[in-house]
């Protein structure tokens, strides 16, 4: 994205923008002052690995406020770098933003765990598991929005997937049937969205919201009337087994966190790069993006706009349904009332925060998963910390991104526009 | 079309009625109830048992099915309109007052969302605006002492102003940066939820005196509570009247005022409005502020209608229900009023349905299908084989003719 701006012919795009360095400098100052100057001098130990791991890295013990100060200074240096880039009318590279974010997180962890320890593998592992439904929902959203159909119904698709996975998995006693039912059910929901949006030209956002209301109503009713009284037979699926991947799971630090997980997590690892490859490296993806950016042009060169949109939206439902299954049989097992709990809307935010790109969206999903586990963990290590603010961070970050402080966010040009063949 | 050349064929007029929005809304509600009935029947044990010997005695299944439906909807009626099984007048008439109490915030928030729809803005942020308004109202109602009367007015105005400001923020961000209001409002919902939880959790902010670990505020001071309308045996309070005032103001604002005309211009055709000299960006800010102000009336209902301490989930599902209310009410004042009453009745009827062993969540199914049919006019037209929307307006002309003669206003 930054490269495109640099090579652009338009002078308008080369306007110097200091938004990014200013935001970075403010964050750096916040970290340095709050976690460093006003930080606690107690020792904190960063546990990189478990003692029983194949390769054990010794814990790193350091004073909490020292971490805050050092990180604050490094962040200021990064902000200065961004400032220099901005003066030369160049955008801040992705890796600078990434390192900036990671270091901020390290400082936050160090501050929270003053006088205690930071179990790195535990936090990262849980963040990944919690991020899986959000990431898959976001992939479904990307598939839909890349062809120009806004998908607000991700929440409903996750809920459908979660419900069907648990119920079908229980009734058939086979979790794989549950997985398939989740994908099919969510895909059917997508077909309703696609039919209304593409064939009947009903406002896509309204259809999406309506489908959410509908699915919430139906699953709430079925849960109250049926599952809550007959839970042993119909809502007791169990979960997929945890399968460590031999070799990969003994990588230090990352191995136990990433490769000792369930099949739903591994499928996510496969789907994200696959989607990227199809979208950006194949003819199929090029056609899809053409339909989302300029349906008239796509139509002119012979692409069937309606059919392309229909199938991409439907397949997006398959992926989101898998995310729903990850909520139940890929994590806790039984279905609970309204258990998607707004994660579909978070996935929607992740699509935008990730700029409609599978990898960036996955990173954004990880941010949300991380914030969930961070809240839980922070309550344990230092009670009294206002965790409500930690809860808000990802939403505020999304807001900042959407209102254009962290680079420009641009949707597919025809996103949300119905196409009427003229 | 002038009155002289008007071909007053009744069939054309009838066609217009059945292709119109109000009639379709009515059909959607009927369809919703029918689908709800199916859900009741197919989750009824007596019916499912009778199904197993359907070919031997089909009347059993039919009878059980009919009992399931009639029991369910009669319970809804008893819980939401008139309890004909009650011993005394108070208990018999309480259901309808409960419906009105639940309808108050739904109508108010529905108006807010409806206003957004008319301007082409989708305000999903009613929940956040309610929370933010309630947060401000709770501060005034529990932390400031004022004389009777003044206290309530100040608290209500503060709540509405806070909700309006929270809405205006969305409009401002959209106007200034082009950020999509759907995303901004969803994010702000979570921010408001975090904020109010934080305020209700801290001693020095709004936490109840000697409260436990859960975030909760004190009950609003008696001087700041909305008074009950029919004495202490009914919980209905003046919040419903505020919602009614809101409906009147909404009607005047959208149909009669200049700013409302600008709102509608932007909603109809943003480019034409811009060409005609309307400052579209400023209109976004005003519209979102007005939308938030109507939602603020719902915040007043929730925060000052309470008799006990508030919790951070005080908004319940109002934020999303408001969207369905606005959709069903086709974004007009009277429509929103009726839709709010219907969905208020669903909420009020829940306990009575629970009593007969039917999950009250079935009203959620009805509600979902109603808005599905509303959102998809082609679907309803296909089911009932209705004609497509008529372009000529026999009824409008007839009405205009009456107006010209001075019969109607």
For B220-243, the pLDDT digits (tens) are 999 999 999 998 889 999 999 999
Q: What is the predicted pLDDT for the residue at B241?
A: 96
Residues 6+ apart with CB under 8 A from B229: B97, B236, B237, B238, B240, B241
Q: Is the pLDDT of residue B219 over 60?
A: yes
Q: Is the pLDDT of residue B75 over 70?
A: yes
Whole-number Å distance between alpha carbons of A250 and A244? 9
Q: Is the pLDDT of residue B398 over 90?
A: no
For B297-343, the pLDDT digits (tens) are 999 999 999 989 999 999 989 998 999 999 999 899 999 999 999 99
CA distances to A136, A307, B139 from A312, in Å? 15, 9, 49
Closest alpha carbon to A148 in A282, A284, A288: A288
Burial class from Cβ neighbours inside 10 Å (0-12, 13-18, 19+) for residue A98 reads exposed
Nearest C-alpha of chain A: how many angstroms from B191? Answer: 6
CB contact at 8 A, A34 and A69: no
CA A18 to chain centroid, in Å, comes to 27
Q: Does A211 touch chain B (CB under 8 A)?
A: yes
Confirm or reject CATH 1.10.3470 for domain B89-358, answering yes or no.
yes
Residue of A211, A213, A392 lying closest to B320 (CB–CB): A213
- Between A226 and B252, the higher pLDDT residue: B252
Give me the mean pLDDT over the B253-257 stretch: 94
Q: Does A352 touch chain B (CB under 8 A)?
A: yes
Q: CA nearest B369 in A: which residue? A: A214
Nearest C-alpha of chain A: how many angstroms from B199? Answer: 10
Q: What is the predicted pLDDT for the residue at A247?
A: 81
Of B190, B317, B380, which to mutate for an interface test with A (greatest number of A Cβ within 10 Å)? B190
ipTM over 0.90: no
B214: pLDDT confidence band, cut at 50, 70 and 90?
Answer: confident
Q: Do B190 and A392 touch (CB under 8 A)?
A: yes
Question: Could you tell me the residue ranges of all domains in chain B?
Answer: 89-358
Contacts of A221 in chain B (CB under 8 A): 39, 43, 359, 361-362, 364-365
Nearest C-alpha of chain A: how many angstroms from B8? Answer: 32
Element of type H or E holding A260:
strand A260-261
Q: What is the predicted pLDDT for the residue at A205?
A: 84
Give the E-state strand segments of B161-245 in sequence order. Answer: none
Q: CA nearest B215 in A: which residue? A: A388
Contacts of A399 in chain B (CB under 8 A): 184, 187-188, 191
Whole-number Å distance between alpha carbons of A54 and A346? 36
Mean pLDDT by 10 residues, chain A (422 residues): 39 60 86 83 78 70 85 90 83 78 84 81 89 96 94 94 95 94 97 89 87 93 88 87 85 80 93 97 95 93 94 96 94 89 89 88 90 83 74 82 64 83 74
Angle A318-A323-A325 (CA atoms, 0-180°, nearest 5)?
95
Q: Is the pLDDT of residue B212 over 80?
A: no
Contacts of B373 in chain A (CB under 8 A): none
Q: Do B359 and A221 touch (CB under 8 A)?
A: yes
**Domains by residue range for chain A, with CATH:** 2-115 (no CATH), 123-380 (1.10.3470)
B409: pLDDT confidence band, cut at 50, 70 and 90?
Answer: very low
Q: What is the predicted pLDDT for the residue at A22?
A: 84
For B172-181, the pLDDT digits (tens) are 999 988 888 8
B2: pLDDT confidence band, cut at 50, 70 and 90?
Answer: very low
Q: Is the pLDDT of residue B277 over 70?
A: yes
Closest alpha carbon to B388 in A191, A200, A96: A200
Nearest C-alpha of chain B: how many angstroms from A260? Answer: 32
CB contact at 8 A, A106 and A67: yes
Contacts of A206 in chain B (CB under 8 A): 122, 327, 375
Contacts of A207 in chain B (CB under 8 A): 375-376
Q: Do B365 and A389 touch (CB under 8 A)?
A: no
Mean pLDDT of chain B: 88
Give me the mean pLDDT over the B185-201 stretch: 92
Of A403, A410, A411, A418, which to mutate for an interface test with B (greatest number of B Cβ within 10 Å)? A403
What is the per-residue burial (b if ≥16 Cβ within 10 Å, else e) of A23-53?
bbbebbeebbeebbeebbeeebbbbbbeeeb
Contacts of A152 in chain B (CB under 8 A): 182
Whole-number Å distance between alpha carbons of A323 and A305? 27
CB contact at 8 A, A209 and B374: no
Residues 6+ apart with CB under 8 A from B309: B208, B211, B216, B217, B218, B219
Q: What is the predicted pLDDT for the residue at B69?
A: 93
Q: CA nearest B196 in A: which residue? A: A388
């Amino acid at each position: 994205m930054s490269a495109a701006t640099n090579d652009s012919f338009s002078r308008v795009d080369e306007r110097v923008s200091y938004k990014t360095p200013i935001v970075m400098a403010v964050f750096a100052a916040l970290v340095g002052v709050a976690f460093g100057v006003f930080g606690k001098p107690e020792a904190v130990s960063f546990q990189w690995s478990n003692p029983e791991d194949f390769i054990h890295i010794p814990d790193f013990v350091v004073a909490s406020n020292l971490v805050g100060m050092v990180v604050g200074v490094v962040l200021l240096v990064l902000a200065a770098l961004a400032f220099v880039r901005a003066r030369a009318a160049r955008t801040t590279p992705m890796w600078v933003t990434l390192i900036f974010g990671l270091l901020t997180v390290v400082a936050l962890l160090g501050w929270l765990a003053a006088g205690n320890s930071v179990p790195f593998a535990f936090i990262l592992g849980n963040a990944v598991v919690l991020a899986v439904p959000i990431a898959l929902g976001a992939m479904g959203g990307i598939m839909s929005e890349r062809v120009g159909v806004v998908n607000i119904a991700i929440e409903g698709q996750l809920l459908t997937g979660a419900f069907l996975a648990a119920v079908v998995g229980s009734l058939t006693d086979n979790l794989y049937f549950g997985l398939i039912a989740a994908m099919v059910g969510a895909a059917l929901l997508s077909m309703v969205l696609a039919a209304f949006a593409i064939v009947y030209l009903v406002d896509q956002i309204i259809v999406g919201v309506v489908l959410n209301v509908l699915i919430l109503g139906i699953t709430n009713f079925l849960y109250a009337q049926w599952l809550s009284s007959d839970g042993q037979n119909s809502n007791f699926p169990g979960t997929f087994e945890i399968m460590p991947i031999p070799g990969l799971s003994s990588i230090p630090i990352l191995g136990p966190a990433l490769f000792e997980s369930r099949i739903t997590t591994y499928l996510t690892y496969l789907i994200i790069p696959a989607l990227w490859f199809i979208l950006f490296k194949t003819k199929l993806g090029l056609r899809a993006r053409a339909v989302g950016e300029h349906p008239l042009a796509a139509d002119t060169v012979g692409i069937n706009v309606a059919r392309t949109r229909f199938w991409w939206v439907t397949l997006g439902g398959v992926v989101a349904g898998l995310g729903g299954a990850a909520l139940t049989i890929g994590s806790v097992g039984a279905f609970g009332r309204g258990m998607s709990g707004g994660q579909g809307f978070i996935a929607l935010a992740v699509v935008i925060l990730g700029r409609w790109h599978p990898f960036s969206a996955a990173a954004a999903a990880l941010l949300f998963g991380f914030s969930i586990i961070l809240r839980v963990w922070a309550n344990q290590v230092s009670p009294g910390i206002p965790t409500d603010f930690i809860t808000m961070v990802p939403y505020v970050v999304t807001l900042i991104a959407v209102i254009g402080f962290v680079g420009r966010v641009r949707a597919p040009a025809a996103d949300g526009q119905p196409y009427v063949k003229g | 079309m002038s009155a002289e050349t008007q071909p007053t064929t009744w069939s054309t007029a009838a066609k217009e009625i059945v292709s119109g929005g109000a009639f379709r809304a009515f059909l959607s509600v009927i369809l919703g109830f029918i689908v709800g009935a199916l859900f009741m029947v197919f989750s009824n044990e007596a019916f499912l048992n009778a199904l197993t010997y359907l070919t031997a005695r089909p009347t059993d299944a039919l009878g059980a099915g009919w009992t399931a439906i009639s029991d369910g909807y009669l319970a809804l009626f008893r819980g939401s309109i008139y309890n004909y099984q009650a011993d005394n007048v108070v208990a018999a008439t309480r259901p309808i007052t409960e419906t009105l109490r639940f309808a108050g915030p739904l109508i108010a928030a529905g108006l807010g969302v409806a206003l957004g729809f008319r301007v082409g803005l989708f305000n999903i942020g009613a929940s956040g605006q309610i929370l933010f308004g309630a947060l401000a109202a709770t501060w005034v109602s529990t932390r400031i002492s004022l004389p009777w009367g003044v206290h309530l007015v100040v608290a209500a105005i503060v709540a509405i102003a806070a909700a309006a400001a929270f809405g205006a923020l969305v409009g401002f961000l959209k106007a200034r940066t082009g950020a999509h209001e759907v995303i901004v409002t969803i994010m702000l919902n979570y921010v408001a939820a975090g904020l109010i939880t934080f305020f209700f959790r801290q001693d020095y902010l709004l936490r109840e005196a000697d409260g436990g670990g859960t975030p909760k505020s004190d009950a609003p001071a008696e001087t700041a509570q909305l008074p009950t309308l029919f004495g202490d045996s009914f919980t209905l309070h003046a919040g419903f009247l505020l919602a009614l005032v809101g409906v009147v103001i909404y009607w005047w604002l959208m149909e009669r005022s200049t700013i409302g005309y600008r709102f509608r211009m932007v909603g109809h055709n943003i480019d034409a409005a811009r060409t005609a000299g309307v400052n579209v960006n400023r209109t976004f800010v005003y519209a979102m502020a007005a939308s938030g102000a109507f939602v603020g009336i719902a915040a007043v209902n929730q925060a000052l209608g309470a008799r006990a301490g508030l919790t951070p989930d005080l908004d319940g599902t109002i934020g999303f229900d408001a969207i369905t209310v606005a959709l069903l009410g086709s974004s007009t004042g009277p429509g929103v009023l009726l839709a709010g009453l219907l969905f208020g009745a669903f909420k009020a009827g829940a306990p009575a349905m629970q009593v007969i062993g039917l999950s009250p969540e079935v009203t959620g199914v009805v509600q979902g299908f109603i808005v599905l049919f509303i959102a998809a006019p082609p679907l309803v037209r296909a089911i009932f084989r209705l004609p497509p929307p008529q372009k000529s307006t026999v009824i409008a002309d007839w009405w205009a003719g009456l107006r010209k003669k001075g019969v109607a206003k």
